[in-house]
Structure 1
Amino acid sequence: MASSSSVTNTPVKYEVFISFRGEDTRQGFASHLYAALLRKNVATFMDTELREGDEIKPLLLDAIEKSTISVVIFSNGYASSAWCLDELVKIVECKNRPTNRQILLPVFYHVDPTDVRNQSETYRQALAELEEKYRKKWQNEQRLRENVKKWRAALTEAANISGHDTKTTSNEAQLVEEIVNNILERLDHMFPSEDKGLIVGVERSITEVESLLRMGSEETISIGIWGMGGIGKTTIAKVVFNKIQNQFGSHFFYENVRETSMNLNQRTFTKRKRDNEKVLIVLDDVTLIEQIESLIGEFVDRLGPGSRIIITTRDKEVLQCYGVPFENIYEVKGLSDPEALQLFSWYAFKKTEPDSNHQDLSKRVVEYAQGIPLVLKEFGKFLYHKLDVWESAKDKLDVWASAIDKLQANLLREIQEKLKVSYDELRATYLKDQFLDIACFFKGESTDFVINYLDANYYEFKSTSDLDDLINKCLISITPDKKISVNDVLQVMAWEIVREGSRCRAERSRLWDHKDVSYVLKNNAGTEYVKGICLDMSQRTPFKAKGFGKMHDLRFFKVHDSHYEQNNVKRVLVSKDLSFVFTELRYLCWYGCTLDSLEKNFDTENLVALDMPHSEVTRLWTDNKVYILILIRR
């Protein structure tokens, strides 16, 4: 039977479950088939442990229920195991369930299908011996009769299905190859071909999307699948498309419209579609309303009853402009932690859970990825190649820990390019600047405070509506308690964008890294390009700043201690005669400032917030300036 490891109660899914009689095939045919499926990245469950007792484990029943295909290897001894027969009964039940029916693929391993179907020859003898054994053990004729009846019915039904036979293909290596190819072909019709690994967290989304489609209705219905890049929108759309396409007269899947829209036209659609025909259309990765109009705009009114349009996008505004009702927009959320661990493990270890000595490091990746499948897959693939580099377990752990540290600070190119699309699609430069401000400086801050800052910094624009633009593109979100939330991975993407702006750290628009900030302040190296500085001193050594250089356009300055103790604030030390000119500053936060006054060369005209706990400042500036500041803050 089946498993690379144990199964949890989480909503994960295996693509293949292998049912077999251990004594007959565990060390031979079944293990070869299992290994061949893993090499093809097919998520396979095979019970590698010897079974104890007569009752089938709940874990195995759970694995059967969550598998797409069950491969049953009928060998000479298969019917001599009540465990195998109970397993087969469960597989047949899953095959016949009303929805999400499982595929049963029989393999007749040196047995005649007729003997399995009719329970003749060795199967008749095995069942007779099994019946006698449990008559004595259970001493309950009714229970025995019911179980034997289920076993026989399951054997007959399974053997009536066309499968693979060693009589037809006697070469076992060739037979394994044929079975694997058969499985891959079947999976191709059910799941996207590029996602041959573990399908995790998809079933829940598919169910919700199908409910929005209301397949029994004769209306023409449009729905949207909305979410950030790499969250799984295309995967969900493909699975749904493959599942329901046969219910339509014509079906079209326009993939990656964002990149291919210039090359797409309506000719393919018009050649194959007849007026008033029931049609299924998927437009994947749409970024502009014009893309929808150019592809299907003039034909929407000629679609037949029951037609469906599915649009996937990173931008909610596209769906709203096209007229998709609010209730027909499905937002794709990240995977749960158990699902994320399963997906990461498949790509990092080629099985459904981490090695025991990699558990903690794997959980670090899961915590960082925040349920984004793209990040989990790319991290997994990258770290998988690190496993075979070193001999000792300690060396492997050290290499992994170091690699994870680097990945958390610098995204892989594949991830950066995918996520950056939403940023690139922002319609105005100031919106890009606002996102970089938020990602670098305002994560976790109150929405009102951020809007006040943005209003002062980008006064010619209305920041409230701008936040909506960023939300619609899944770049930020608002928590229930009105705080700004930025996904950790998107924050690292923003850091990368700032770094790409200049190789010289003194010329970067925003500084947050302790090494960069300390370099600029220690060496008085700031330039007019620097618009914001944020430095958390909680885990850092105090240092002495020589000056602010030529940062004449500095608008945000924050030196704080996120874990401060009142009597142990880690400070940025400055000389009393430190020279600086802050004419554009909007926000000043300086924990433990060692200056006694800010009056010299300090212009409060644009200031919206001042926060200086545990400082040595005894005088700020003249009274009228304090009055202005208070008005602004109120």
Structure 2
Amino acid sequence: MASSSSFSPRNWVYDVFPSFSGEDVRITFLSHFLKELNRKLIISFKDNEIERSQSLDPELKQAIRTSRIAVVMFSEKYASSSWCLDELLEIVKCKEELGQLVVPVFYGLDPSHVRKQTGKFGEAFAKTCQRRTEDETKLWRQSLTDVANLLGYHSLNWPNEAKMIEAIANDILAKLNLAPSKDFEDFVGMEDHIAKMSVLLDLESEEVRMVGIWGTSGVGKTSIARVLYNQLSRQFQGSVFIDRAFVSKSLEIYKSANPDDYNMKLHLLRNFLSEILDKKDIRIDCLGEVEERLKHRKVLILIDDLDDQVVLDTLVGQTQWFGSGSRIILVTKDKHFLRAHRIDLIYEVCLPSQELALQMFCRYTFRQNFPPDGLMELASEVALCAGNLPLGLKVLGSYLRGREKEDLIDILSRLRNGLDGKIEKTLRVSYDGLNDKKDKAIFRHIACLFNGKNVNEIKLLLAHSGLDVNIGLKNLVDKSLIHVREDIVEMHSLLQEMGKEIVRAQSDEPGEREFLMDSKDICDLLEDNTKFTLRSGMNEG
């Protein structure tokens, strides 16, 4: 018997092959089960278009042999179908020869009835055997016994189908090694992100799709992208994860070159093709070779936080460069970058709910989903200080891990008065990425004065500022630095605090700063001005 490791991921077509009696489960258990597999980006074989005859179709045999896991759904009428029983023979054969994994599900019947062919299941089996030889019957009996002896799921042991289906799907994820790695175990809510992305990716479609992941800095875009890449790459003939480090390494000999330099593009393309084709020392003479090499290959390309139009056009300029079913995923905090590449399928990564944020913080801080006794109020306040931003929750959680309650209380007061350096450094990237000084000025205005204000009110107040407010607000939205909901401008609390820190850093003298926000600074300045005015008046007198 071959071990499961003898399977090459490149040979798999499906993750799951479901074997079932349609009469019993197709519109009930099976439909919900397949929907849950889709939510988790698990690829399953669907037989809707195959007409069943008296013997197994070669296409069906091939589907069984190219599936990593077979889920056998035993129901009362399963043994009524010689087709189902022949499927089972092929599954047992693949289990023995290829190391295929088999998961039995006992739907509305006792496992012993399958194992011993008794009860209503046994009666149905006996009727089917009347039309077959003794040798065939013996093989069927043996396969039923073998599979029924495997560890599986018995529907009568579960309070409802939903919980059982979720458990089976999670078991399959683990068996496929698709569960998010420990690097992301504290990122609560990942499954929901994956489910929403699965709709946009539509992996069953043969078209080539470009999909964007968009959101503010620190919201978890890269974490989502990494999990997606981990789960999806095995389904493609080639895959590559491109980030700034990849491009920097590829172009390190061209540091002083024009970004549009032809030789630079060729060098980048060589490394790109070498990675995705898993070949070293690839030779190419022109940029058009990317299409020649990949137009018949189903590939997965993930580009993370690389807002460089030249690089994007060089590597993934046109969908027709890639084979049917290919997927290109772009991760960015700039929505305009996606629009410029005509990407309309965009997943906006929003902040987690307060409940999820608290759970995420507790995972980072206490290594559990809830705070220890007596720390609920404190943990909730710290999570609030992070503004529910995953990056903030991670940084603060890691900083506070292992500290005593008294220390947490002392640190909390410090957190109320400023950003953690790591958080600010990450968030600052978005602000520094604004090309226009006017956009930066509008950002500071909102951070210090206008967060939570009506759009029209802001436009009116800044009408004569020369800041081009209309286009400026749109640019800030595209960069995920603000959101506009029901005509109200909203800026994340951590971004707002960063904006205030930028203004405070303009000068040690409060009176020389763009805005004054702290009551003490305002009072001191007014007091100084009053003293200056009084002194001036006395001198004049």
Q: Which one of the candidate residues 347, 361, 365 is aligned to 2:364?
A: 347
- CA deviation after TM superposition for structure 1 residue 215, in Å: 1.0
| 1:265 aligns to 2:268 (yes or no) | yes
| 1:204 aligns to 2:192 (yes or no) | yes
Q: Distance in 1 between matches of 2:245 and 2:440?
A: 23
- CA deviation after TM superposition for structure 1 residue 321, in Å: 0.4
User: Which of 218-227 and 239-248 deviates more?
Assistant: 239-248
Amino acid at match of 1:361: L
SS in 2 for 1:478: strand
Matched with 1:364 is 381
Q: Distance in 1 between matches of 2:380 and 2:339?
A: 38
Q: Which one of the candidate residues 478, 487, 502 is aligned to 2:484?
A: 478
| 1:286 aligns to 2:306 (yes or no) | yes
| 1:377 aligns to 2:377 (yes or no) | no
Q: Distance in 2 between matches of 1:488 and 1:421?
A: 16
* CA spacing shift, 1:500–1:189, aligned 2, 3 Å: farther
Residue deviations 1:159-210 (CA, integer Å, cap 9, x gap):
9xxxxxxxxxxxxxxxxxxxxxxxxx98985435632x32311111111111
Taking the TM superposition and a 5 Å limit, the aligned residue runs for 1:434-583 are: 434-457=442-465, 459=466, 461-480=467-486, 482-524=487-529, 546=531
SS in 2 for 1:157: coil
CA contact (8 A) 2:477 2:483 kept: yes
CA contact (8 A) 1:335 1:370 kept: no
Structure 2, unmatched stretches of 5+, are 1-31, 43-67, 70-107, 117-144, 153-173, 253-266, 278-292
Q: Distance in 2 between matches of 1:406 and 1:259?
A: 39
| 1:236 aligns to 2:256 (yes or no) | no
Matched with 2:242 is 254
Matched with 2:61 is none
Matched with 1:191 is 180
Amino acid at match of 2:338: L
Amino acid at match of 1:291: V
Q: Distance in 1 between matches of 2:352 and 2:271?
A: 36
Amino acid at match of 2:479: K
Amino acid at match of 1:158: L
User: Which of 371-380 and 150-159 deviates more?
Assistant: 150-159
Taking the TM superposition and a 5 Å limit, the aligned residue runs for 1:70-89 are: none
Amino acid at match of 1:342: Q
- CA deviation after TM superposition for structure 1 residue 241, in Å: 1.5
Q: Which one of the candidate residues 152, 155, 158 is aligned to 2:151?
A: 158
- TM-align CA RMSD: 3.8
- CA deviation after TM superposition for structure 1 residue 338, in Å: 1.8
Percentage of matched positions with identical amino acids: 30
- CA deviation after TM superposition for structure 1 residue 310, in Å: 0.3
- CA deviation after TM superposition for structure 1 residue 281, in Å: 0.4
CA contact (8 A) 1:257 1:291 kept: no
Q: Distance in 2 between matches of 1:259 and 1:466?
A: 30
Amino acid at match of 2:432: D
Residue deviations 1:313-356 (CA, integer Å, cap 9, x gap):
0000000001102xx01100111122111110011112110012
User: TM (normalized to structure 2)?
Assistant: 0.60
| 1:399 aligns to 2:407 (yes or no) | yes
Q: Distance in 1 between matches of 2:222 and 2:181?
A: 9
User: TM (normalized to structure 1)?
Assistant: 0.52
- CA deviation after TM superposition for structure 1 residue 435, in Å: 0.4
Paired positions, count: 365
Residue deviations 1:257-312 (CA, integer Å, cap 9, x gap):
79848548221222344332111100001223233124333x75321111111000
* CA spacing shift, 1:96–1:306, aligned 2, 3 Å: closer
Structure 1, unmatched stretches of 5+, are 1-92, 105-143, 160-184, 388-395, 525-544, 550-574, 580-634
- CA deviation after TM superposition for structure 1 residue 150, in Å: 10
* CA spacing shift, 1:206–1:96, aligned 2, 3 Å: closer
Taking the TM superposition and a 5 Å limit, the aligned residue runs for 1:13-412 are: 98=37, 100=40, 146=110, 156-158=149-151, 190-191=179-180, 194-195=183-184, 197-256=185-244, 260=248, 263=252, 265-271=268-274, 272-273=276-277, 274-276=293-295, 277-297=297-317, 300-325=319-344, 328-387=345-404, 396=405, 398-412=406-420
CA contact (8 A) 2:438 2:472 kept: no
Amino acid at match of 2:510: R
Q: Distance in 1 between matches of 2:419 and 2:176?
A: 32
* CA spacing shift, 1:243–1:519, aligned 2, 3 Å: same
Structure 1 residue runs of 4 or more that deviate by more than 6 Å after TM superposition: 93-97, 147-155, 185-188
Q: Which has the higher helix share?
A: 2
Matched with 1:529 is none
